[in-house]
A = this chain, B = another copy of it.
Amino acid sequence: MESRMRLALLLSACLLALPASASETRIPAEALAAAGELRERALADTTGHALVESLTTEIGPRLAGSEADARAVEWAKARFAELGYDRVWTEPVTFPKWERRSESARVLGAHAQPLVITALGGSPGGTVEAEIVRFSDYAALEAAPAGSLVGKIAFVDYRMARTRDGSGYDAAGPVRSRGPSVASSKGAIGYLMRSVGTSPHRVANTGMTRFAEGVAPIPAAAMSLPDADQLGRLLQRGPVQVRLALDVGFNGEYTSQNVIGEITGSELPDEYVVLANHLDSWDLGTGAIDDASGVGITLAAGHLIGQMPQRPKRSIRVIAFANEEQGLIGARQYVERHAADIGKHVIAAESDFGAGRIYGFSSNAPEYAQAAVRQVAEALAPLGIEHLPGQGGPGPDLIPLAQAGGTWAWLGQDGTHYFDLHHNADDTLDKVDPDDIAQNVAAYAVFAYLTAQAEGGFGSAAKDHASD
């Protein structure tokens, strides 16, 4: 029984350590009233879509490390200033520069024909001609015997599922991120894959791949879905030889910038509600849904809060991260730089899942802050947003912050059509609905304003000092 007694004492001590209900985080009534007005103003405002139009038109594609990357940084600084942010600054982000110069693929022999492909980010250049070996998914590739792909081009033909919440991407992701490395480790000299995407059109989806330590990098590319279908049909007829020619690769180092704008808090200026997006895009489209929409949504949300009669209690920090696409590089370097201040990042949300309407909201804030989370959810409900505790997660650029102890909120967008456009040439302005952007802006503005006004915190604390 002694051990039971000691357990009981330990449990009592733990319960005493939890905040009492009197110290629960709460949002004052006057803030909720003001948020209602803010929401309606945001729905009628066009700033968000105008920013998407401006970034996609004037800068266009903005691959990290390209000439357009530097133009995008200048664009973001100028927009923050124009939009009335109190402070605007940049923080350097350094990374290896990857370039795409040309790319092509062609079936050889009796059924000779071109294939629509695009090199994966991180692929080396090179020209290979070899027989195709098809795998239905990543697990099948992993199961291939050592040495079985010597001199071949591996082709992983996995079909990504279309889902509202983007969960199809989780299953398909490794085909792109790790497939080429696995294929090379088994002797392959080239890699082709059915795009991680859902578009039936003739556009291929790029995205980053990485080769494991000690594995020789091999030319790696994704095919459009119709081309993957075609290659599959040709393989049913017999062996297929393909020529894959990529002039791409890493070329030196580049320093870009995280661009940050702040609406400075009136009472707690050193505590920040963070709204995040990323400024870079892949090079095939103009990055309208990935992530000019996030840029427009979050910059407009902060701007609208800045237009209110008084500054919020806490600061609103809007961060346009550099080089998300090649490995959350701006976000990782931000967290390294701000390691001592994790607890000051009270709560953070990123818009980086396209331009669809927001349908769900949640946060990983601790129990003592969940009443406030419910208050935010109630203020979002008129936008058609449901409180979905336990669903969602941090946006990609907030993963490093969350790992360091920062609390996140999720404003979940409908991603049913996101992967029709994601990382391919079709990611252009015409796919963005101005009304949907306004709904997003309203949601981010309400979320940021209410959490900035909350009495009590949301649990952010540097991991070393965190209670759990």
Contacts and interface: CB of A to CB of B under 8 A. Distances in A.
Contacts of A203: 201-202
Contact of A114 (B61, B107, B114, B200): B61
A230 interface: yes
Contact of A111 (B58, B201, B234, B425): B58
B230 A286 contact: yes
Interface in A233-254: 233-234, 237
Interface stretch (A16-24, A87-95, A426-434): A426-434
A111 B112 CA distance: 38
A285 B58 contact: no
Interface in A23-80: 53, 56-61, 67-68, 71
A166 interface: no
A429 B113 contact: no
A68 B113 contact: yes
A71 B112 CA distance: 10
A399 interface: no
A83 interface: no
Contacts of A286: 113, 230
A226 B424 CA distance: 13
Given A58-B237, A202-B285, A425-B202, A229 B430 contact: yes
Contacts of A59: 111, 113
Interface in A266-289: 285-286
A116 interface: yes
Contact of A202 (B110, B111, B428): B428
B430 A200 contact: yes
Interface residues of A, number: 38
A226 B113 contact: no
Contact of A57 (B53, B68, B111, B285): B111
Nearest to A58: B111
B425 A116 contact: yes
A43 B285 CA distance: 42
Given A57-B233, A429-B226, A112 B67 contact: yes
Contact of A230 (B57, B68, B229, B426): B57
Total copies of the chain = 2
A61 B202 contact: no
A199 B425 CA distance: 14
Contacts of A425: 116, 202
A226 B203 CA distance: 14
A26 to B, nearest CB: 46
Nearest to A284: B202
A233 to B, nearest CB: 5
Contacts of A56: 230
A112 B425 CA distance: 16
Contact of A61 (B67, B113, B200, B426): B113
B226 A60 contact: no
A71 to B, nearest CB: 8
Interface string A185-211: 000000000000001111100000000
Given A226-B430, A429-B226, A112 B202 contact: no
Contacts of A57: 111, 230, 233-234, 237
Question: In the complex, which of the residues A61, A237, A286 has the most CB atoms of chain B within 10 Å of its own CB atom?
Answer: A286
Given A58-B111, A201-B202, A229-B430, 19 more contacts: A53-B233, A57-B111, A57-B230, A58-B234, A59-B113, A60-B112, A61-B114, A67-B112, A68-B112, A68-B113, A71-B110, A113-B286, A199-B201, A201-B201, A201-B426, A202-B203, A202-B425, A225-B430, A226-B430
16 contacts: A57-B230, A58-B111, A59-B113, A60-B111, A60-B230, A67-B112, A68-B112, A71-B110, A113-B286, A116-B425, A200-B431, A202-B203, A202-B425, A225-B430, A226-B426, A230-B286
